Amino acid sequence: MFNVRSIVVTLLALICGGIAVMGAQGMVGANNRGAGGVKTVRVLVPKQAIERGSVLAENLLEWAEWPESVATKHMLTDLKAASMRRCREDLVAGEPVLEGKLVPRGEPLTAADMIGEGMRAMCIQFQTPAAAMAGLIFPKDRVDLYINEPARDGRSNPTSRLLLANVEVFAIGDQLSARKEKDKEKSKELQSTSVTFHVSVKDAAILDNARADGQLSIGLRNPKDKQVVVEVVELPEPTSDSVQPASLVAPSEPPSRREVVKPAAVKPMLFLRGNDSQLISRSWAPGR
């Protein structure tokens, strides 16, 4: 005889399990519908990294689907509106092109267009090409700035210290773009003692004050190196001993002079011509 109670319990368990399975499938389906149902917009993105100052051609752009929830009105969605415009800033590959990073169509790109918000471009004239890295630095490189200060404030020796670290080079002379090819002619163009840095307002004031305080020099750094070491180095005191000129020794004997050959004494000579005689004189040099 079958146990009615056992049968009922088994049926209830099967019904509850089926309901749980159906509920789980419903939740998964809802999640999938939500993920697949995210609204997107087509925006323009660069195919590759583009440097500031470059012209944004159509072949450098492509379309990408961007979530509508995070899209902004500044993202360009018109290919004609973006093409053949110059870049104010560097563009990253795969990142939406923003209107504010491009110069308006038909307007030239100036140095002021490339300065970031809250930043300043500060030009420093170095004393020698060696102090300005002799053409080895390019715009967008990261450098350290050192200052050599004369002896003062109770110090007997001059000192050298780090003034600003990890500073971006804005321009070399009048060159605003980085050089890819480093041939001799382009290297000569960048061997300038005039270097412009992209710094904050506070750092611009520090640079302006340092120009009158001492001699500045540049140290090129690896862009991946984020370490900043601040150390004051005391330079050796310059020597005060002056170099004495070599003493002049008077010669013991006067220099020999070339002997001057004196002309021979004039001797009268008698020449006979026919029946007449004539007394004449002529000078004869020795050996003649």
Q: Which residues of 144-155 are buried (b: 16+ CB within 10 A; e: fewer)?
A: bbbbbbeeeeee
Regarding whether 182 and 97 lie in a shared domain, the answer is no
Give me the residue label for tokens 């862009």: 223
* CA distance linking residue 122 with residue 195, whole number of Å: 8
Looking at residue 43, its pLDDT comes to 94
What's the domain range around 139? 115-234
Sequence-separated (6 or more) residues with CB below 8 Å from residue 35: none
Give me the residue label for tokens 């002049």: 248
Looking at residue 78, which CATH number applies to its domain?
3.90.1210.10
* CA distance linking residue 62 with residue 44, whole number of Å: 6
DSSP H helices in the chain: 4-36, 79-82, 184-189, 201-213
Looking at residue 236, its pLDDT comes to 53
Regarding whether 198 and 126 lie in a shared domain, the answer is yes
What torsion, rounded to 10 degrees, do the Cα atoms 3, 5, 11, 13 define? -120
Q: What is the mean pLDDT of each run of 10 residues along the chain (288 residues)?
A: 65 70 56 62 93 88 92 90 88 92 84 87 87 83 88 72 91 74 51 87 92 85 76 51 46 54 55 52 48
Regarding whether 217 and 122 lie in a shared domain, the answer is yes
Residue 128 is assigned to a structural domain of this protein: yes
Residue 5 is assigned to a structural domain of this protein: no
10 Å CB burial of residue 17 (0-12, 13-18, 19+) is exposed
* CA distance linking residue 137 with residue 189, whole number of Å: 12
Residue 83 is assigned to a structural domain of this protein: yes
Last residue of a domain, which of 189, 205, 234? 234
Looking at residue 116, its pLDDT comes to 84
Structural domain total, the chain: 2
Looking at residue 242, its pLDDT comes to 43
Residue 88 is assigned to a structural domain of this protein: yes
Q: How many CB atoms lie within 10 A of CB 84?
A: 11
Regarding whether 206 and 126 lie in a shared domain, the answer is yes
Does residue 61 contact residue 44 with C-beta atoms inside 8 Å?
yes
Last residue of a domain, which of 111, 132, 157? 111
Smallest Cα–Cα separation from 262: which of 287, 285, 230?
Answer: 285
Q: How far apart are the first and last CA of the chain?
A: 172
Regarding whether 104 and 152 lie in a shared domain, the answer is no
Regarding whether 146 and 179 lie in a shared domain, the answer is yes
Looking at residue 226, its pLDDT comes to 76
Looking at residue 268, its pLDDT comes to 56
Regarding whether 155 and 88 lie in a shared domain, the answer is no
* CA distance linking residue 116 with residue 89, whole number of Å: 8
- Written as one string, the DSSP assignment of 166-225 is EEEEEEETTB-S--S---HHHHHHT--SEEEEEEEHHHHHHHHHHHHHSEEEEEE--TT-
- The length of the chain in residues reads 288
Last residue of a domain, which of 69, 86, 111? 111
